[in-house]
């Protein structure tokens, strides 16, 4: 492949369109969550991921798994957990079977805020997708996003 190869150009254009769609959606959701709930998109995502933990096998996530789920580095995730813990939305505790492990749970206050923020997040996502669908360059990506199912954990 060369820099002028049409396949490379199409690939680069597709990547740019995907990046643009992601940026627009994230910015729209960020504004809505901040305005109505004082949450960032990352904070909302972290609360959402941690709220899905359970007491069964593999039900609690290690920090690396949490970081992967919210698409942040482990150090950025740890700082985010600390900020939400300071706000009383999360709490950490030692793993009962492995004293080296530390888990994080969403507090009642965190669950309440997440419950209040979820409709805002969902509505902002829908609005952002509807707006993007009006753009001929983004409409095919919106269609793909709307047909995706949640990935099955491996």
5-30 pLDDT tens trace: 777 788 898 899 999 999 999 999 99
Whether residue 135 lies inside any domain: the answer is no
Residues 28-50, mean pLDDT to the nearest whole number: 97
Whether residue 151 lies inside any domain: the answer is no
Classify the phi-psi angles of 71: left when phi > 0, otherwise alpha if psi is within -120 to 50, otherwise beta.
Answer: left
pLDDT band, residue 154 (cuts 50/70/90): very low
Whether residue 141 lies inside any domain: the answer is no
pLDDT band, residue 152 (cuts 50/70/90): low
Give the residue with greater pLDDT, 153 vs 24. 24
Whether residue 42 lies inside any domain: the answer is yes
Whether residue 69 lies inside any domain: the answer is yes
User: Cα(154)–Cα(142) distance, rounded to whole angstroms?
Assistant: 26
Greatest CA separation for the chain: 58
Q: What is the pLDDT of residue 153?
A: 56
Q: Read off the pLDDT of residues 79-92 as tens digits, 9 standing for 90 and up.
A: 999 999 999 999 98
Whether residue 39 lies inside any domain: the answer is yes
Q: What is the pLDDT of residue 35?
A: 98
| Token pair 């996530």 in the structure block, residue | 61
Q: Which domain holds residue 115?
A: 14-129
Q: Read off the pLDDT of residues 117-147 as tens digits, 9 standing for 90 and up.
A: 999 999 999 999 999 999 999 999 999 999 9
Indicate which CATH number applies to the domain containing 28: 1.10.10.10
3-state secondary structure of 102: strand
Whether residue 138 lies inside any domain: the answer is no
Domain count, the chain: 1
Whether residue 60 lies inside any domain: the answer is yes
Distances (CA, A) of 94 to 6, 69, 103: 54, 21, 6
User: Cα(45)–Cα(70) distance, rounded to whole angstroms?
Assistant: 6
Q: Read off the pLDDT of residues 55-82 as tens digits, 9 standing for 90 and up.
A: 777 778 888 889 999 999 999 999 999 9
Exposed e or buried b per residue across 71-106, where buried means at least 16 C-beta atoms within 10 angstroms of its C-beta: ebeeeebbebbeebeeeebbbeeeeeeeeeeebbeb
């Amino acid at each position: 492949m060369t820099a002028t190869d049409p396949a490379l150009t199409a690939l680069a254009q597709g990547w740019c369109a995907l990046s643009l769609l992601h940026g627009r959606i994230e910015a729209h959701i960020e504004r809505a969550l901040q305005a109505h709930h004082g949450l960032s998109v990352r904070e909302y995502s972290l609360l959402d991921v941690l709220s899905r933990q359970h007491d069964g096998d593999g039900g609690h996530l290690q920090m690396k798994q949490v970081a992967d789920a919210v698409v942040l580095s482990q150090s950025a995730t740890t700082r985010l957990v600390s900020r939400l813990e300071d706000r009383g939305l999360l709490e950490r505790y030692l793993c009962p079977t492995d004293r080296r492990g530390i888990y994080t749970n969403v507090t009642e206050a965190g669950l309440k805020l997440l419950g209040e923020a979820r409709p805002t997040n969902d509505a902002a996502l829908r609005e952002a997708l509807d707006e993007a669908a009006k753009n001929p360059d983004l409409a095919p990506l919106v269609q793909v996003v709307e047909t995706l199912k949640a990935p099955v954990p491996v």
